[in-house]
Amino acid sequence: MREFYERISVDDALTIILKKAKSLEVELPFDMCQGMVLSEDVISSVYLPPFDRSAMDGYAIRGEKSFGASQANPVRFNIIGESKIGEFPVACVGDRDFEAVRIATGAPLPEGCDAVMMVEYTKETDHKTVEIFSSVTPGKNVSTAGEDVRTGDLILKKGRVLKPHDIGILAAIGISQIKVLKRPDVAIISTGDELIEVGSAPPGKIIDVNSYTISEMTGPVGTPHRKKIVKDDPDKLKGAIKECLSYDLIIVSGGTSVGGKDYLPVVVDEMGDILFHGVSMRPGQPSGFGVIEGTPVFMLPGFPVATMVAFEILVRPFIQKSAGLIVNSPYPRICATLKRKIASEIGRRDFVRIKLEEEEDGTTYVDPITSSGSGIISSMVKSDGFLIVSESMEGIEVGEMVEVNLYQ
């Protein structure tokens, strides 16, 4: 039986992994970039609004002409035209006469006007005349050109993680292509003679779960590409990996431990370099990492829970860093009291699934799910999150306050 090459700590594994995470700049349509990291400053070459426009429905006038107007003492204006949304106004208001232009919200302010009287304070006596019952100061109810954005303004700074409203402002200033750090393309391969695609499993067969969980976990930070299941056959594994070398990252699950059919580490070793194989963590101990012709390859254990934990701890940080994102846990954390003792081992980091329980007295307890192994996927589904027992602890006693990571 082959031994693990060497079992290293989670932190050492992460150091090795993160050194290999490189980001790549790509130019993409702006509306594909939500959640990605901008790799250039975006500077506006336009004014927003592009022209002075009305903020109200009403009449565009020279504000000073309305001074003194009141309910008892309306001021009459001649209606000389209309400004409609999406059309440039033809009317031009002179400074001597009392002239008004009918105007809609968002329509361009006619030349010569500086304010808009709200329709509520007016009454058209006929189509040619309007009475105004209140006064407006110049500038009132007008959005001036460039009030929002001006030419030369720094709109979005390099390094920003793009949010929905950023995509909106890019649309508003007419920028259709932007430079961002690439979301890594991740090839996902499941391997095992017993595995079959989703459907009903014939006797002795197991439905592939890992390529789905890995895809879903990759989704928010990288672009997953599920590949066909590969048999426990070194040549087939080699062929499948070779086909994926153009991806930014390859994740293979299954066949990583020391059983007779566990060819993955041998294959990776033959095709490239293994940087580690075996991590002092539970579950996920038979995880490994290598590089083949410059492409990083993660080897994850086949047991579904172990795969997910190994992804969480080792792969997500790699993808986050490659995408230019801050490497951090996406989980909210809370502190609560441990309901049952957890046993562990010095030198090993344990990821323990937990359930939260609220007692009648209002205290929240953390109940560790320690009875099921890493093949029991329902243990994950039943859990509310997980807690970490660090390498320096032999376990955690009942009643201690623990910090737990919660699934959202």
- Residues lying near Mg ion in the complex (CB under 5 A) are found at 192, 254-255, 302
Q: Does 259 bind ligand AMP (CB under 6 A)?
A: yes
Residues 39, 210, 280, 322: which binds ligand AMP (CB under 6 A)?
210
Q: Which of residues 58 and 265 has its CB atom nearest to ligand AMP in the complex?
A: 265
Residue 197 burial (CB count, 10 A): 12
Residue 253 contact partner, candidates Mg ion, ligand AMP, none, CB within 5 to 8 A by sort of partner: ligand AMP
Measured CA to CA in angstroms, residue 189 lies from 230, 236, 237, 241, 310 at distances of 7, 12, 9, 8, 15
Residues 222, 283, 301, 324: which binds ligand AMP (CB under 6 A)?
301
Site string for ligand AMP, 65-104 (x = CB under 6 A): ----------------------------------------
The distance of closest approach from Cβ of residue 153 to ligand AMP in the complex, given in angstroms and rounded to an integer, is 51
Q: Does 255 bind ligand AMP (CB under 6 A)?
A: yes
CA distance 231 to 221: 29
Grouping H, G, I as helix, E, B as strand and the rest as coil, residue 157 is coil
Q: Does 369 bind ligand AMP (CB under 6 A)?
A: no
Measured CA to CA in angstroms, residue 357 lies from 140, 361, 400 at distances of 58, 11, 15
Structure tokens at 138: 């110049």
Binding segment toward ligand AMP, per CB under 6 A, in 186-194, 342-350, 358-366, 392-400:
186-194
Parallel, antiparallel or unpaired: strands 249-253 and 295-300: parallel
Tell me which residue has tokens 């509520």. 120
Grouping H, G, I as helix, E, B as strand and the rest as coil, residue 26 is strand
Binding segment toward ligand AMP, per CB under 6 A, in 7-15, 42-50, 249-257, 385-393:
249-257
The distance of closest approach from Cβ of residue 261 to ligand AMP in the complex, given in angstroms and rounded to an integer, is 7
Structure tokens at 315: 């792969």
Q: Does 254 bind ligand AMP (CB under 6 A)?
A: yes
Q: Which of residues 184 and 255 has its CB atom nearest to Mg ion in the complex?
A: 255
Binding segment toward ligand AMP, per CB under 6 A, in 250-258, 314-322, 324-332, 388-396:
250-258
Q: Which of residues 219 and 239 has its CB atom nearest to Mg ion in the complex?
A: 239
Residues 303-362 that bind ligand AMP (CB under 6 A): 303-304
- Number of residues this chain uses to bind ligand AMP (CB under 6 A): 19
Residues 148, 194, 243, 384: which binds ligand AMP (CB under 6 A)?
194
DSSP per-residue string spanning 233-253: -HHHHHHHHHHTTTSSEEEEE
CA distance 255 to 195: 12
237: Cβ contacts below 8 Å, ≥ 6 apart: 191, 230, 252, 255, 263, 264, 267
Grouping H, G, I as helix, E, B as strand and the rest as coil, residue 201 is coil
Binding site for ligand AMP (CB under 6 A): 190, 192, 194-195, 206, 208-210, 253-257, 259, 301-304, 375
